[in-house]
Structure 1
Amino acid sequence: MSISKEEARVMVLCTLMLAIGVCISLVVLRCHDDKDELPEADNETLTTLQHKWNAHTSHDRRGNDIELTPFPFDPNHADSATLCRLGLKPWQVSNMLKYRREGGRWRSADDLQRLYGLSKSQFEQLRPYVRIAEADKRKVYERAEWQSNYEHEPRPKTEKFAEGATLPANTADTTALKHIPGIGSYYARKIVDYRERLGGFVSTSQIGEIEDLPAGITRWFVLDKADKPRQLRINHATFKQLVRHPYLSYEQTKIIVTHIRQYGAIRSWRDLQLYKEFTQNDFKRLAPYISFK
């Protein structure tokens, strides 16, 4: 039997309508059967949830709170269908699932009142039915107990040196420095940082250049004759490397860099004597730390 063109068009149209109906049914069933989590709230998802929500709630056209249908549930593990049956609004369900996807957890029933759009009366309806798994509660309690123990546990005091003890100025670390009377973590770090910026101490008196250290601090240090400071190659160092040295100011560093760019390598301190920014005392202090090679 032959089929007319009109009949063929009708059959194609019926097939398309059937396919569309199947797709719509799958979307609607998702709110029932989704045992994992919904995607973020887009228009289609919210529409689907809205239909399911309508089936489980009664509308108040005057805008009053919707009466929920509470039953025991765990907000950390309930699926979308369960949350719909409680009577939560579709966008609230979507936000709850998004919060969980991002690692959020409700640690107690009272935490549920943070849910955006949940009124006080609705929270009071749901609160007696909230069930939080012990595993989710325990994380909070263990952390609180750990913090409490840590805060009340006395910190061991660092034993201080008796008078006459000394430390090697160029190798003592912050732990050793804290044994000096009057030196804690802050000042120990300042000493080590200053030593690193210098390139090493060539005299224990340099330790006294650090601000706010206790009086007489230098008596706790000694130098090894084998100690040699780290030198800066003045003609090859960068501006940043030069200006970081405690004995070079910003203006002095600019002069060095400009001189090298205009006149070539600096061969000795004589090349810098004509600049008013440098004094003989500057050259004396810098001498152990600068190389002209």
Structure 2
Amino acid sequence: MFTKQQRSGIFALILLILIFQCVIYVVDFSSEEFENDTALIHAYRAEVDSLKQLKLKNSQPKIFPFNPNFITDYKGYTLGMSAEELDRLHEFRKGNKWINSTKEFQKVTEVSDALLAEISPYFKFPDWVTNPKPKHEYNSSFSDNSKPKTFTEKQDLNTASASQLKKVNGIGEALSERIVNYRSRIGGFVADVQLKEVYGLSAEVIDRVLNQFTVKSGTPITKIHINTATIEELVTIKYIDYEIAYNIIEQRTLREGFKSLDELTKVKGFPVKKSEIIELYLTFD
């Protein structure tokens, strides 16, 4: 079937294949350069593995210093606290009581010693708790002002002058002017709690002011119903932006409405420290 020329070509092809097979079998094509490349590949692979481990380590959640009085459910779960321990903490805080030490935190929540040792280094209490100022004995000029008065005896905070406010121990010229200026800027106080918004007033000084003054006049606040408010209505409230308002409405839908401020404070991003101010503008009924 093949011509003589074709058969010669086939024999030549078979001969070339046999020769190449023998050459591949006999000759060693490996070289030191290839071995060096293999070692380099292993080095690169080890470096890549170490970078992966470093990235994995950095991706682990980090714990930053926090006040244990404001542990949310999500924060508690990430710390390793059980639901029962979180419930004890929330129940304690409902009584408007505060945890001021690591020992007190364990007493309230009943967390284990092992968990306490792990998370307590991140506890951050206010300076007035960790570094309390020494109590001074005040002279008699302040003794009358330190005694709390009845509502009738107290002066209206919205009509008090800077000179009258300076008579309160701890209120100097700068703070008295700051209170008056803040009052003018917001159009008058509507509740005593708004004193917390004045920069520089400590809790002790606010208590002394409220022993002598209280809000008796002022424009009533038009409250917004939390369970029917729109995003546009919510963002008109101080300290609530569009992101928080969106989270509130999302949680409101999942919960089928909020029944209390405590439930509202569990919304992601909610400014818990400003909850008393925000509550002035809301109704849950």
Shared fold (TM-score, shorter chain, > 0.5): no
Higher relative CO (Cα under 8 Å, sequence separation at least 6) belongs to 2
TM value normalised by structure 2: 0.29
Which has the greater radius of gyration? 1
